Amino acid sequence: MHCRLGLLYIMSRFLPILFLVLTPLFGYVQGESFSFANLPELDEELGPDFFARNRQKLRDTMPDSVIVAVFSAPKKRRSNDIDYPFHQDTDFYYFTGVREPNAMVLIFKTPKQINGEWVSEVLFVEDKDPKKEQWSGRMMGLDGAKEVSAISMVLPNHQFKTLDLPLDSIDYIYRNKTDQIERDDKTDAGDLMSLTKHLNRKALQSEKPVKIDEAEDLFGFVRQTKSEEEIRMLEQAIDITCMAHTEAMKNIKPGMTEYQVEALIAYTFRKNGADGEAFPSIVASGKNGGIMHYTSNSSLLIPGDMVVMDIGAQYQGYAADVTRTVPVSGVFSEEQKIIYQLVLDAQTVAIRYATPGYKFWTPHEEAVRTIGKGLIKHGIIKKWSDIGDYFIHGTSHYLGLDVHDTGIYSALQPGEVITVEPGIYIPEGSPCDPKWWNIYVRIEDDILITDGPARVLSSSAPKTISEIESLMSSSDNGVNQ
């Protein structure tokens, strides 16, 4: 019965979307048959030595009197007995490579004696359970977690409750945030609630009470600069995202819906080897472009409007974040061109300052300066203090395992990956000439800080006015007919 109901649900939920999506998909291949023989060659997964190096990097940064405890993400209830798809806590993944819930790793500055062995780290995971695997899929178990993480001591999570944790020379336990814990250790002695509760209890009951504090700044410092492996993962995620932008531009036309564009983007992500979306895709046409985190994607594309596409593929856990704004009809109006070029100029200037030695916020300051001058020049604002009415967000954030990745916002250094994303948003009713109303433009690229000029990792997605109009007019999608 479960299988039959599940099949009916899948058919009712996805067949209408498939019908809407396949027509433009078959259109954009221009008579070619679908072939999956030329799928991209995918990089291997990050290896255990990568996670071991990350832990050593953390250990080199830790004070002597500290233990670091990193918990897995909690399972989150969607409704009744259905959970949301599990997404691992990015700090836990960064230090272990384990993608399963109800787990914890302890990292010591110097070796400690655990169960009669001297170790510098110990990992607690769920042991394999054949019945659970039959319903929910294969589990790593102790041996699998040991292989992935390169941690020599891996114990069943339910054993932490009775473990003698050496805290005699420890002043602090630094830990990551764990919220929305919904399970109950009365029925599962090894679940996340049990692990967090018994860590707190051990700290309070030690001979010298140990304080527990959050490790956000410590983890931000360690993760802020990306390794060569991380940059390769990011490049793959970004390349796939740029492919999706290009395919969307080729196929957008009046009368489509935002969700059809979203479906094409999602298809391109998965077809090219992405894990899926790094965040819910924003496909915001017309007035929706003024909503920064618009995700309902339910409106029709209207001639004369523009559509803001803020999207990012996820690859091996690493996130891309690239935004393009294009005209639904394939050609920008004169007013749209002016605002678009102003945003592009601001981004160009900001990227020049994405170099070592400048403050993290310097690209934003330069983008504001450029946009402010342009808004005054075109009479959209009269005084400098009004810039914030139309440029309402920051220009940059870190990028990595999280789309808004952790970091300490220090001076820019080689190996950091940030976004540069200025925008102008002029809603209807604004105190300016109505010819500017309902123009919303955001342009976002992913930038690698190097020893010299910044490297734009997302440059393959068309960005100039001429590139966008040329691509949209030459794709034979009916836009200009």
**CA 218 from chain center: how many Å?**
20
91 is catalytic: no
Residue of 321, 402, 405, 469 with catalytic role: 321
Cα(357)–Cα(20) distance, integer angstroms: 50
404 is catalytic: yes
* Residue with token string 């007995």: 81
Residue of 158, 324, 364, 442 with catalytic role: 442
Backbone angles phi, psi at 156, to 5 degrees: -60, 140
Residue of 397, 402, 446, 469 with catalytic role: 397
* Residue with token string 């690209």: 363
The neighbour count for residue 106, using CB atoms within 10 Å, is: 24
444 is catalytic: yes
Residue 166's closest CA among 106, 242, 228? 106
Residue of 53, 77, 138, 404 with catalytic role: 404
Under 8 Å between Cβ of 170 and 65: yes
232 is catalytic: no
310 is catalytic: yes
Please write down the HEC assignment for all residues of 178-222: CCCCCCCCCCCCCCHHHHHHHHHHHHHHCCCCCEEEECHHHHHHH
Token pair for residue 127? Answer: 């042991």
393 is catalytic: yes
294 is catalytic: no
Residue of 53, 77, 201, 393 with catalytic role: 393
358 is catalytic: no
78 is catalytic: no
Residue of 121, 425, 440, 469 with catalytic role: 425
Residue of 41, 207, 293, 334 with catalytic role: 293
Q: Measured on CA atoms in the order 236, 241, 247, 250, is the torsion positive or negative?
A: negative
Helix (H) or strand (E) holding 70: strand 66-71
Token pair for residue 456? Answer: 């734009």
Residue of 89, 421, 446, 469 with catalytic role: 421
Backbone angles phi, psi at 415, to 5 degrees: 95, -10
Catalytic residues: 81, 293, 310, 321, 393, 397, 404, 421, 425, 442, 444
